[in-house]
Amino acid sequence: MNANTVLGILGSGQLSRMTALAAHELGIKTHILCTEPKDSLSPASQVSTFTTKSDFNNLEHILEFASRCDFLTLENEFIDQSILDAIEDKFPDKLYPSAKTFKLIGDKITEKNTFAQAGIAVCPYKEVATKTDVLDFIKQHGLPVVLKSAKGGYDGYGNVTIKSEDAIDSALVKLKGEKLVEAFIPYTKEVAIMAARNSTGTVLYPIAETVQENHICHYVTSPSDISFEVEKQIKDYTTRAMTAIDARGIYAFEFFLTADGKVYLNESAPRPHNSGHYTMNACVTSQFHNHVRSVLNLPLGETTLITKYTVMLNLLGTKSQVAELQPINEFMNVPNGHLHLYGKTESKPGRKMGHFTVCGNNKDEIFATVKKLKGMYSL
């Protein structure tokens, strides 16, 4: 790495933005492939060294973009596998996570097959194409079940919970492409862990609890209130998963916990993740700094908490309007509060516009403060 090292990032949203900011602190230039119509207004292009306007399907443009970068990473897993393969074929040892890694987790069916073969407990599942396939699964596992698109789902999109057999036909029509059905796990908690890996080693972050509303994460708290045994199982599964996919980069793993102490790996993400944003203010090294370090094969940073408790609130759009957080002074006046806005100019209901993290010694007080702000802000 030298003063002219360029990290290319495929994508131009908030994850790309925060990765670029972390890279700049290490003196690394960033080059963003921006797919938005107004690239000057995308979250990442506001802070990147260079921006190229293109799309994820133009192989010629992407290969030209890759030729200008020393290392490549991406902010989402929705780029076609053939594009990733072509990058890796022409520029070996430049793209991380690698195309080979993506091939093992590129869709939910392959992902579950990969992790199950590694001895990791996943939710019971089956690839389905017809109503009969779903009915056969229900006979074995009962209702409700969850029908999922194999690719492209996030924040509740691409999932349909089926509570009666009458709902199967409409669910199959609603979801496009390859599909799988999963048994519904009666979980008591959802938790997530971030992990970074390269040739220098593997580091695991503190396990965080995520609180969902309507399939969208609203709060993240760390450390999670779990037993030593459950924590040990989660970390073991995470290490196995990283090894199974020969991971290099930062990864998120989401787990379901049941009342009887069982742990199920639900999903993974080969990139920085919303559940790890708290690390920017609450850990020695943020997920974004360790993402940059891992992609460039630099020594990984320490991941321990520097606070007793932390709570993160996702700031979601409340209406369709020009983005403006109100009342912003209420956020600014919170002791040990940290406001991160993503530079998105247009807000709409449910859109992730920023996050707010509070650190401190009293978890109940922190949560009360964050919940009060959640109930009063508009954006």
For 147, phi then psi, to 5°, come to -90, 135
For 6, phi then psi, to 5°, come to -120, 125
Go through the domains of the chain in sequence order and give each one's CATH number: 6-95 (3.40.50.20), 124-183 (3.30.1490.20), 187-376 (3.30.470.20)
Give the pLDDT confidence score for residue 222 in this predicted structure.
98
Copy the structure tokens of residue 118.
Answer: 């590694």
Give the pLDDT confidence score for residue 154 in this predicted structure.
63
Give the pLDDT confidence score for residue 77 in this predicted structure.
84
Inform me whether the pLDDT recorded for 155 exceeds 90: no
Q: What is the mean pLDDT of residues 89-106?
A: 96
CB 308 within 8 A of CB 54: no
Calculate the alpha carbon distances from 325 to 29, 41, 216, 320 in Å. Answer: 30, 18, 20, 13
In the sheet with 125-128, reading across from the earlier edge strand, the strands are: 125-128, 179-183, 145-149, 159-162
The rounded percent of the chain whose pLDDT value lies above 70 is 98
Give the pLDDT confidence of 166-178 residue by residue, as tens digits. 999 999 999 989 9
Label residue 361 by pLDDT band (50, 70, 90).
very high
Give the pLDDT confidence of 328-355 residue by residue, as tens digits. 999 999 999 999 999 999 999 999 999 9
Inform me whether the pLDDT recorded for 39 exceeds 60: no
Q: What is the mean pLDDT of residues 143-158?
A: 81
Mean pLDDT of the chain, nearest integer: 95
Give the pLDDT confidence of 236-267 residue by residue, as tens digits. 999 999 999 999 999 999 999 999 999 999 99
Inform me whether the pLDDT recorded for 224 exceeds 60: yes
Give the pLDDT confidence score for residue 304 in this predicted structure.
98
